[in-house]
Every structure is written in C-alpha cells, then in structure tokens.
Amino acid sequence: MGQAGISPTQLALKIGLSESKADVLVCAAVALNILAFSKGQVILGPHGAALLGQPWIMRFIEHHRFFYRDLEDPVGLLKGQSVPNGLRSYWTYEDDESDKLAYSELMAASQEAVSQQILDAYDFKKHQNILDVGGGSGAFLRSVGNDYSHLNLNLFDLPGVVGLVDKKSKLIPHSGDFRNDPLPQNMDLISLVRVVHDHDDDVILATLRNIRAVCKPDTTLLIAEPFAGNAANAAVTDAYFNLYFTAMGQGRTRSPAEIADLAAKAGFGHPKIWTTNLPLITGLMTFRVI
C-alpha cells in the first residue's frame, strides 16, 4: 500500500511559502532523497521515511546550529585561529541545569537506536553485574534491563549527570570522574558506549587503565561506537564526526585497531569484533580479561 501524498500547491499553503519558493525547497529535498514525486504528488523519500521513523535524528539536526556556527571559518578552525564556541558551549554542562538536561535528553533520544544495535549483536544473558561508564542518565542501561531483567544495572558518570537518573528506576548510580576516581568493583561487564570517540587519547588511556584496575578474571569490557577506517561509513565517521570533534576541541573517531592499541597499553588483550546490522550507527568490540 503506497503512502499518501500532497500536491505541491497544498504543500506550499501548509508551510506558508509561495509556490515558487516551496518548489525550491521541495526540489532540494527530492535531490537529497528526503522527498519524492509520485503521480504529481509529493511523498516521503527514503531519507524522509528514516527521519520520520527515527525521531531522535531530528534532535541532532536541531542542535547542528551550534556546529554550523563553528564552521563559519573552517580553515581558521583547523589552523587553531578560530575559537569555536557553539558546540563547546553546548556540551559544557557541568554547572548549568538546563544544559545538563539538554545534553542528557539529546543522548537519550539517540541511544535507543544505538542500544538496539548492541542488543541485536551481543548476548548479555551470561552476565550478572554491568557497569556503564559515562552512561549519562542511563538510557543504554534501561534498554539492556528491559531485555535482561536479571542484570544489576550500575551507572557511573559525573555527579550532576547521575543526579538526573530517575529515582524509581532499577539503575544503581555511582558518581565521579571516570579517568581517576575509584570505580565500583565486582562487575563482570563494563561498557563504554559512545564515550571513546568523545575524548583524546590521554583521557581514554587513563579511563581504560582505571577500568582495568577493577577488572577481575572473566570481566568483559564492551566498547560501542562508530569506527573509523570503514569506507562504507567514511562520510560520517571520517568527515562529519572528525570535523564535529574538532569544533568541540576534543575527541576523534578511531579504527578498531587504534582502540585496541590504547586498550593494550592499559593491560587488555586482543579484542573480538562483533558484526552489527548498522555499523554507521555503532560498531562493537569486546575485551575479555583472563
């Protein structure tokens, strides 16, 4: 059954544009596969259907105004002559309650798709105690808990972020700096979900060493994020993300080999790479402590 469409004239009236200006917008959207024409009607294209089906993507699009502000002088940004203040101010949420809430809502909005990719690829049944490091307000843990009710769900993040966790949830909050503050012990699974690419090597190495210090034999470290070095994903991982992180002033995407090298320096062995259905959203690798 085909989807219902709308005539170009009706669409122009609906969005409050003249027909000529609406035509400019529609033609651009068709070129980007957001919209399409069918029998003289405007309908959703493949990308438009994806946006409608994954509303969290719109949250990212809405916050891109900060990114665009930082890219007004891209050459100056890369040379260090331009001081970015859009993304950096957006993500500096430690002291502002509204910023912390905006950050957590944006992360939670996108975490559902990421979590589903991980849950489809990895079986959590064998674990008992999971610690999600840098897990924000706990969106990933809640998804895991919905599928694996036997798990003890432990969350570690900054005090102001952990404070946003719903007190009625099953999550057990722990607060501190994951680079150097003591982490909870007796965990058999520790996860870093979209954390590694947010930070520079020195921060990640310190974090991995801090995690390794509390790992007992048979503990598994799980790292999930889009990986660099995959030609199919390069437009996002190597272009978009790395410019984004440059504007943030920290972080970069890494290949599995680069992450494995940092993990080895922290005392972890060889990783296992898991296949996910949508590596553009997240890749997955685990390290098992012997």
Give pLDDT tens digits for 217-271.
999 999 999 999 988 889 888 999 999 899 888 999 999 999 999 999 999 999 9
The DSSP 8-state label assigned to residue 184 in this structure reads P
Spatial separation of the C-alpha atoms in residues 75 and 147, rounded to whole Å: 47
pLDDT confidence of 279, banded at 50, 70, 90? very high
| pLDDT tens-digit map of 177-221 | 999 999 999 999 999 999 999 999 999 999 999 999 999 999 999
Domains and CATH numbers, the chain: 8-52 (no CATH), 110-288 (3.40.50.150)
Spatial contact of 69 and 88, defined as CB atoms under 8 Å apart: no
pTM for the complete prediction?
0.85
- What residues contact 68, with CB distance under 8 A and at least 6 apart? 86
Q: Nearest to residue 158, comparing CAs of 133, 189, 139, 140? A: 133
Q: What's the pLDDT at 94?
A: 47
β-strands 35-38, 41-44: how paired? Answer: antiparallel
> Which pairs from 89-97 meet CB under 8 Å and 24+ separation?
90/63, 90/66, 91/248, 93/160, 93/161, 94/158, 94/160, 95/160
What six digits make up the tokens of 69? 């502000």
